[in-house]
Structure 1
Amino acid sequence: MAIFLEMPELNPEFPFRIILNDGNILTTPHWHREIELIYVTKGSIHLGINDQPYSLSEGEIVLINGGDIHYVLASPGSERIVFQFDLTFFTGLNTEGLNLTRFFEAVEPFSPKWHREKEAVVREILIEMYHEEQRKEAGFHYQQKADLLKLFVYLFRNIPEKKEIHKSHEKVQSKDILEKLDQVFRYVEQNYTTKITLEEVANSIGYSQFYFTKFFKRNTGKTFITFLNDYRIDKAKWLLINSTDNVSEIISQIGIESDKTFYRLFKQSMGMSPLKYREKMSVKN
């Protein structure tokens, strides 16, 4: 399975999870069937949903429907809480015959387009859910279920529909895009330790180098070279934390040919040297 087709391991009895991400965490284009809400708690973030770039500031929320292709670019100094849940949680409770799939396709996903009072109510529910997750007091799962139902009811009754809803042919187009991106990500995953050229990766999905360059930038918001460098730096960060290899050995494992280039990219990405990063993460651990 490719690393960018996300399949969260959720409890079938309560398919729900909360993740706290800081701004240095980059999520490359992916999709999953679960509904996702992102609440920005600090700074601002830049993300893309179905080929469209967006920005969210502190206190703002976005709802991402299952099947939507999305990514979040690295946004240093920011922080976000991610809430994911599967619609199957509501299935046995849906005695009114509500069209839940249609609702999540139609609802306006960006809280800046809601009234501020409505945004504040949703934010309060999300904060309570996060605090329950952190405290884990007796019965917190019951409280989380209650809060999730409260959240859904409030969204259903109060949040407006967006002006334009993706048509079925647009969904098919998005899946075609995802399949091509997935092939690219598989290629990178398998070959990042060696030299990768634009021509090689373009050929791997049957595109010309010129078309591939435009295709990748349009659908991820960054150039392929930038993505590849970010991917390799992420691998280096993992090795710095989880191995005792020295920096030169790590560079030889991630496909960056020049030590000078590696140090420049790492400092640019993390704001510190590789050894400082290792020291900082070792203290945390």
Structure 2
Amino acid sequence: MAIYLEMPELDKDFPFRTLINDGNILTTPHWHREVELIYVTKGTISLGIDDIPYKLSEGEIAFISSGLIHYVLASPGSERLVYQFDLSYFASLNKENLDLQKLFSELVPVSLYWKQQQEEIIRQLLESIQLEMDTQQTGYQFVVKAAIFQLISLLIRDIPKQTKQPKKMNKLATKDVLEKLDEIFRYVEDYYQEDITLRNIADVSGYSTFYFTKFFKRNTGKTFLTFLNDYRIDKAKWLLINSDYSVSEIITRTGFESDKTFYRLFKKSMDIAPLEYRNRMKID
């Protein structure tokens, strides 16, 4: 898995999967085009969705819309079920022409703020899906698909909407574009602490610098330099929340050329200073 872009290998005929994650598994910041639900079945977990940290306990649920950056901290003693599915599978039955991605992006992402009855119904659906996936009795895919359709309708109809809309990737691209972006993001992940030039990254993509510049801007909504700086800022935010490194150490570890550049970009991104961000966002 690339840390910035995850591309789950889902069955093209039924693009859905479930995972059981032990609490010791730490999931670093990433995004994917698939919708995801996280159901805490044991203990307590700490996670972040769109730069907002949450703490969820046994029985609580998180919903993550397509394209949102999210992470889960190591939470020893806990367990969580993860459900991922691609909305494109349901497009042929969307006769009302609902914009599912938009509708899902507006939902309150954690069940802490849902009505208890809504949380309970969705919890039961998720448990029934997992049971069918575990036992795989005859006809289990019919049961799972039916449950997912019911889940989608419940999310659309019953889950409260946010007043503030989350930040999203500019465009959920096609598979070929995602694969090329994944290649680029993997390179950035490996070398973001070093000096990455436009020529370097264009060579990695196999494009000329001119074509790469157009390709990247068209498919991410930002220039590569802006993306690289945003990526380094995201890494810095991760370290501020999850380490005791000094700000100077974090600047060095995230590849910024100077303290001045880092502070300017961080303030522009978060509208607060790094230490204030650490104090406000860190989950003990």
**Please, what TM-score do these two structures have when normalized by structure 2?**
0.64
How much does 1:217 deviate? 3.5
Q: How far did 1:18 drift?
A: 0.3
Q: Which residue of 2 aligns with 1:216?
A: 235
Aligned to 1:56: 56
Answer whether contact 1:217 1:224 (CA < 8 A) is retained: no
Whether the 8 Å contact between 2:59 and 2:123 is mirrored in structure 1 is yes
Superposition deviation, residue 166 in structure 1? 2.7
Task: Determine if contact 2:33/2:67 at 8 Å carries over to the other structure.
Answer: yes
- Shift of the 8–224 alpha-carbon distance from structure 1 to 2, 3 Å rule, reads farther
Q: Is the 8 A contact 1:216 1:222 kept in 2?
A: no
CA distance in 1, matches of 2:117, 2:47: 24
Query: CA offset at residue 223 of structure 1?
Result: 3.9
AA at the equivalent of 2:191 = Y
Question: Residue 130 of structure 2 corresponds to which residue in structure 1?
Answer: 130
- Structure 2 gaps of 5+ residues are 171-181, 198-224, 247-284
Q: 2: distance between equivalents of 1:11 and 1:213?
A: 33
For 1:213 and 1:185, the matched residues in 2 are separated by 10
Matched, 1:6 2:24: no
Letter aligned with residue 62 of structure 1: A
| Partner Cα separation in structure 2 for residue 181 and residue 58 of structure 1 | 34
Alignment of 1:63-142 (within 5 A): 63-142=63-142
- Cα deviation for residue 102 of structure 1 reads 1.1
**1:46 maps to which residue?**
46
Deviation at 1:91, TM superposition (A): 0.2
Q: How many residues align?
A: 204
Superposition deviation, residue 110 in structure 1: 0.9
Deviates more, 1:179-188 or 1:16-25: 179-188
| Structure 2 CA distance for partners of 1:69 and 1:215, relative to 1, 3 Å | closer
- Alignment identity in percent? 46
The CA distance in 1 between the partners of 2:116 and 2:3, in whole Å, is 37
- Say if 1:52 and 1:203 are closer, same or farther in 2 by CA, change over 3 A: farther
CA contact (8 A) 2:5 2:185 kept: no
Offset at residue 128 of structure 1 (A): 0.2
Is 2:207 the counterpart of 1:187? no
Report the 3-state secondary structure (helix = DSSP H, G, I; strand = E; otherwise coil) of the residue aligned with 1:92.
helix
Contiguous gaps of at least 5 residues in structure 1: 173-177, 189-200, 227-285
Structure 1 distance, partners of 2:231, 2:6, is 24
* Greater CA drift, 178-187 or 95-104: 178-187
Change (3 A) 1:124 1:225: same
On the 8 A contact 1:217/1:223 being kept in 2, the answer is no
In structure 1, the partner of 2:150 is 150
RMSD: 3.1
